[in-house]
């Protein structure tokens, strides 16, 4: 049975195996941050619910603490952005190259249209000139 990207654990999009180690590091860091965020969020909610039910914390104070914990979770997740992802620099370079190619293609299309209009205009002039 052939593997497809839908069932594969890893899909290599390029032939550069040197990017496999950084991708694995990023995946492990992502899982670690997800576990940290889940533990923080669930821990905060459990403590706040217990504190509110025992009348140790007012509802408004509990909501404030919850919102602060949400911000901490978001900031913790943003740490992943700083990680050097696999091929991040190469990806930016590839995008820039694609944009340059698209610009060149657009210029060529404009030149073709301009050339074809010029040829049509010269044909019209040739048809209008009297034959001697």
Average pLDDT, the chain: 77
Task: Give this prediction's pTM.
Answer: 0.53
Instruction: For residues 59-87, give the mean pLDDT.
Output: 84
**Residues 60, 48: Cα–Cα separation, whole Å:** 11
Torsions phi, psi for 117 (to 5 deg): -65, -40
Mean pLDDT is lowest, of 19-33, 45-59, 86-100, 111-125, for 86-100
Contact 39, 93 (CB under 8 A): no
What is the three-class DSSP state of 70?
Answer: helix
For the ranges 3-12, 69-78, 106-115, the maximum mean pLDDT occurs at 69-78
Between 116 and 85, residue with greater pLDDT: 116
Q: What does the pLDDT read at residue 21?
A: 79
The C-alpha angle with vertex 12 and arms to 10 and 16, in degrees rounded to 5, equals 135
Q: Domain map of the chain by residue range?
A: 17-86, 88-132
Residue 37 has pLDDT above 90, yes or no: yes
Rounded to 10°, the helix 59-78/20-53 angle is: 170
**Residues 80, 95: Cα–Cα separation, whole Å:** 22
38-64 pLDDT, tens digit each: 999 999 999 999 998 999 999 888 889
């Amino acid at each position: 049975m052939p593997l497809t990207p839908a069932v594969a654990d890893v899909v290599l999009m390029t032939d550069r195996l040197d990017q496999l180690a950084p991708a694995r590091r990023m995946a492990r860091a992502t899982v670690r941050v997800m576990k940290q965020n889940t533990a923080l969020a669930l821990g905060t909610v459990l403590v706040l619910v217990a504190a509110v039910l025992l009348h140790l914390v007012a509802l408004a104070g509990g909501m404030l603490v919850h919102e602060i914990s949400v911000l901490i979770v978001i900031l913790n997740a943003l740490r992943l952005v700083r990680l050097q992802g696999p091929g991040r620099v190469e990806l930016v370079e590839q995008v820039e190259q694609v944009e340059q190619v698209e610009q060149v293609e657009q210029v060529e299309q404009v030149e073709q249209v301009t050339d074809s209009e010029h040829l049509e205009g010269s044909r019209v002039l040739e048809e209008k000139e009297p034959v001697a």
